Every structure is written in structure tokens, then in C-alpha cells.
Amino acid sequence: MTRLLIIGPPGSGKGTQAARISERLGVVAISTGDIFRANVKEQTPLGVEAKKYIDNGDFVPDSVTNNMVRDRLAQPDVSEGFLLDGYPRTSAQVDELDSILAGNGQALDAVLQLTADDDELVARLLKRAEIEGRADDTEDVIRHRLALYHEQTQIVVDRYLDRGIVRKVDGIGPIDEVTDRVLDALKA
């Protein structure tokens, strides 16, 4: 069984790589961002609440996110493994994920950390916003999200570094090359 987490700043290619890695390894990719966007689009109660935070470039509160992830990891399609994208983002969420997995006698096998320069990320996200018409990707919001990532999420990386399960991968370059680097990092 493979239980993975992919982490990195907004725009580092997590979603793209998660889809490719999950396909190659035969595990389910679980993206909290996709779940939030679907709920926002459908205007569910979770979506209405999440939208307020997403539109400001803020993280959705742990209570909402934790319950959503707990429910998702209880689904039968993750019995052979999963690749989490976008969770955990805070130290409290690391504790919650540990609790969820421990309840099933499991633990994470590896954490894939995609790295990239902030200016490169801003350029990528502005281009994506232009192509996809995403209202949440203005330059101010992008820089705010990057600042939050550096401020709040680095502790998550540090906690997994202490466990020796982080595999750092350069997220800049052609998609196929990044995928190859990720797969090589998992073999190491």
C-alpha cells in the first residue's frame, strides 16, 4: 500500500503531478482544492463557507477541512493507497492526519515536496488565471497565498523532515521531467 502526501507552494504543479503519480502508482489522488471548488460551484453549505476564505486567498478552517479529509479517507477507493494534495497545511492538520491514519493502523510512507521560486510561481499562476478565468488568482491574492504557505506550511514540512520521509523535488521544468524526478525520489 502506498500512502503519500504531495506538498508545495501554490502553483508548484502539485495537482498536475498528483494526477500523474496516482496513475503511475495506481492510487487515488485526493485534492482538497478540487473538493472545495466543486462544493463552491454547487453552492453547498461547505462551499459557501469555503468560498469566503478561498476568495481572500486564505486557508479554509481546519474544522471544515479535517472533517472532509476524514470522510474522504474512509471511502473504499483509498484502501490500496492514496496521494493527498493540499492537506495537511498546518501543524494541527498533521496531528489530525496522524490520528486518522493511526485509527486505521496506518502511517504516511512519503511526503513529496515540490520546490519552486516565488517569482516563477506568481508568473505561472497569473498565466493559469488568464487561461482558466480563475477569479482567485490575482497577483495580490497569489502573493498572499505564497506568504501564508511560507508562514504556516513550512512547519508541516519540518515535522515530516524530522520523520525522515520528505523527498524534495525541483518542480520547475517540463512536466515529464518533473514526473520522472518525483518517481526517482520515491525509489530513493
Active site residue 52: no
DSSP string for 89-148: -SHHHHHHHHHHHHHTT----EEEEEE--HHHHHHHHHHHHHHHT-TT--HHHHHHHHHH
**70, 128, 143, 159: which is the annotated catalytic residue?**
128
**20, 51, 124, 145: which is the annotated catalytic residue?**
145
Find cell 530513493 and name the residue: 188
Phi first, then psi, for residue 139 (nearest 5°) are: -60, -40
Active site residue 145: yes
Ligand-binding site membership of 89 (annotated): yes
Active site residue 143: no
Ligand-binding site membership of 11 (annotated): yes
Find cell 502553483 and name the residue: 11
Ligand-binding site membership of 32 (annotated): yes
Q: Which amino acids are annotated as binding site for AMP, given as ranges? A: 32, 37, 58-60, 86-89, 93, 134, 145
Q: Which amino acids are annotated as binding site for ATP, given as ranges? A: 11-16, 128, 173
Q: Which amino acids are annotated as binding site, given as ranges? A: 11-16, 32, 37, 58-60, 86-89, 93, 128, 134, 145, 173
Active-site residue set: 14, 89, 128, 134, 145
